Amino acid sequence: MKDFQILFVRKLDAATSSPVENVVASLLQYCLLHNLVCAEYNEHNEYMYSIPTILVAIGGDGTVLYAARESTKFQNAAIIGCNTGRRGFLADSHTNEQLWEMLDVYRLMSDAAIHLDRRSTIEGTVDKSCTLCPSTFFTAMNEILILPALSLNVIEYTIDVNNKRMATQRSSGVMVSTPTGSTAFSLSVGGAILEPSANLMQIVSVAPLSLSARPIVIPAVHNRVDVAIEVTDRTGDINIVADGQIIETLSHKREHTIHITHGKNVDFLRPRGWNFFEVLVEKMGTA
Measured CA to CA, the distance from residue 124 to residue 116 in angstroms comes to 26
Which 8-state DSSP code applies to residue 286? Answer: -
Expressed in percent and rounded to 5, the helix, strand and coil fractions of the chain are 20, 40, 35
Measured CA to CA, the distance from residue 65 to residue 68 in angstroms comes to 5
Residues catalogued as catalytic: 61
CB neighbourhood size of 142 (10 A): 27
In terms of Cα–Cα distance, which of 28, 278, 259, 12 is closest to 144?
A: 259
Distances (CA, A) of 280 to 89, 92, 215: 8, 13, 21
Q: What angle do CA 37, 39, 41 make, to 5 degrees?
A: 130
In terms of Cα–Cα distance, which of 234, 236, 238, 235 is closest to 246?
A: 238
Decide: helix, strand or coil at residue 160.
Answer: strand
